[in-house]
Structure 1
Amino acid sequence: MLQTSIDWQTIAKHITETTDQDFQVQTHYSISGGCINQAFRIEGLGQNYFVKINQPSAYEMFESEAASLAELAQPAVIKVPVPICWGSTQTHAYLVTEYIAMPGDARNAGIQLGHQLAVLHQVMRTPYGWYRDNYIGSTPQKNTQENDWATFWQKQRLAYQLELASHKGYSGNLQTHGEKLLDEIGVFFTDYSPSPSLLHGDLWSGNYAVDVDGQPVIFDPAIYYGDRETDIAMTELFGGFPSDFYAAYQDQWPLDVGYPTRKILYNLYHILNHLNLFGGGYLSQAEGMISKLLSEIK
């Protein structure tokens, strides 16, 4: 992905300055799993850190990720990697976080994560959105604050992704039916007004693991304050979470009866984002979801 040599000396100096503890990169190990950044575990002087590397233009993405991790860590409900420092060299942008050894024994972690996520969602702040924009994958995520949830989801989520899709040449039914859905989006919230919960924002199975002590860990967030159902909906995409996770969440804070329909509305955002990031393989799925939602409108 990135062919130029990484300036580990500059990164090590930044870690030393931030932590006030001398650090030198003596060894580094490539970590697989991501499709956007290069990732490494770096070691030196008895310390370990996790580092993401990308092109210099990724500085803002890493800055917003550090802010997202800090916000998610603040309630101390679910373990997240602590951001250490971020910056750029002449050839790369980087983000350094705490290194957490994974994976661990996941046998009981689903129940624990379900309970913890329900508690995290009880951290609330108005209005909907966040004080800054961030990223969903490598796509900018608009978090302009709104006092009305339906308006937020219409403007800052679906309309923005449909606009990106239009710029990429996806027209036809996606746009005509998508515009109709945007016009009718209030129908899905006639008797449902969610509280603005602290959300992970990108909670699929690839952004969850278990540490060596058996504790759930979540990472790579795209946080904002919104309907908790959006986090639960995304856990059902791309492989899903274990059944005991859902039972534990429901035990802690049951979902509204309208969730099965709204989860399609919420996951449409992620499918549109995958269409914009990875191409036309997601087009028919997006169109099918929009058609299903329109069929629910009486």
Structure 2
Amino acid sequence: MLAARASGSAMQQQVMARWLAQQGLELAAMQPVGGGCIHRAWQLELRDGSRRFAKTNRAALLPVLEAEADGLAALQAAAGSAGSAADLPTIPEPLALAELEGEAVLLLSWLDLGGSHKQGWRELGRGLARLHRASLNSGDGRFGWHRRNFIGSGPQHNNWHCSWAEFFSEQRLVVQLQLAAEAGRAIPQAQALLEEVPHWLAAHEPEACLVHGDLWSGNAGLLHGGGGAVFDPAVYRGDREVDLAMARLFGGFPAAFFEGYQQEWPLPAGHQQRVELYNLYHLLNHANLFGGGYWHQSAACIQELLRSWS
């Protein structure tokens, strides 16, 4: 857990126990669990038999955890306006956030993940559609978010725009392509793409839903006992299609997930063509974060978009 010290795991557990005690919680045990490539993740077992989930990282990354907590709270608020929670994805509750002895810590409610049945994925798709629709109960129709946040560990800009075409072009593609150029990895035909994107999306006028923003298969799952969950968001108000597009990337979700979404709230005409355009953002982000073959994938995607949309 907290930064490795000569005193070892016993001292680390003591630090966590003292922090939890301040919140009226008594720690019985803690153990590492899988939690992605950015943070360390922990299962916390309490004396009353319940469990919590904790993420830790160096103190400099406290803003990343703050943004995650903000996104989870926003998704929960949107779900709260929808009516029956039984019809919606479970969203972990951000319980506490702190800096402890040089480490950032985010405490969350526990998700008992482990289901894999087809009907569960179909219900998760329906639930996401309901969550998207419920989020329209708030907001003012603009695209963006009240703060910058993070896509993985990369910066995500969210300046408000009234036009989706302008938002996606300027706050998503321009930012990533500028980062690439600053790193000496300017991508051929990038400028030609940026000149075309506003025209490609001009006739597409989506509603400004609250989107998860980072909905790949590692950030969602089914729960033991039924239901599904989404977590680790990078929220903003955008075209709901971006979540469905990313759900096809990096391994993708089962077909039943998309069937369930379509049954609940069908996507508009042309959504298939926009998938690769929306996912270019994530390819570029991965290229900027990890390099390697993502540069080639990003360049190939741009070439294909210019060919297929012409």
Partner of 2:4: 3
Partner of 1:225: 237
Partner of 1:282: 294
User: Which of 38, 41, 44 is 1:39 aligned to?
Assistant: 41
Q: CA deviation at 1:9?
A: 4.1
Matches for 1:1-298 after TM superposition, within 5 Å: 3-4=4-5, 7-18=12-23, 22-46=24-48, 47-76=50-79, 77-122=88-133, 123-124=135-136, 125=139, 126-171=141-186, 174=187, 176-298=188-310
Query: Aligned with 2:237: secondary structure?
Result: strand
Q: CA deviation at 1:214?
A: 1.5
* Residues 81-130 of structure 1 deviation map (CA, whole Å, 9 limit, x = unaligned): 11101111222111110012221353421110111111111122221011
Q: Is the 8 A contact 1:49 1:97 kept in 2?
A: yes
Q: CA deviation at 1:45?
A: 1.6
CA RMSD of aligned residues (A): 1.8
- Which ranges in structure 1 are unaligned for 5 or more consecutive residues? none
Q: Is the 8 A contact 1:197 1:225 kept in 2?
A: yes
Query: Aligned with 2:232: secondary structure?
Result: coil
**Structure 1 residues 217 and 193, CA, compared in 2 at 3 Å: closer, same or farther?**
same
Q: CA deviation at 1:163?
A: 1.3
- Identity over the aligned pairs, expressed in percent? 38
Give, as a single letter, the amino acid of the residue that structure 2 aligns with 1:48: R
- Which ranges in structure 2 are unaligned for 5 or more consecutive residues? 80-87
Q: Is the 8 A contact 1:207 1:219 kept in 2?
A: yes
Query: Aligned with 2:114: secondary structure?
Result: coil
CA distance in 1, matches of 2:293, 2:309: 27
Give, as a single letter, the amino acid of the residue that structure 1 aligns with 2:75: L
Q: CA deviation at 1:290?
A: 0.6
Under a length normalisation based on structure 2, what TM-score does the superposition of the two structures give?
Answer: 0.89
Displacement over 6 Å in runs of 4+: none
Q: Is the 8 A contact 1:13 1:23 kept in 2?
A: no
Give, as a single letter, the amino acid of the residue that structure 2 aligns with 1:202: D
Query: Aligned with 1:3: secondary structure?
Result: coil
Q: How many residues align?
A: 292
Query: Aligned with 2:78: secondary structure?
Result: coil
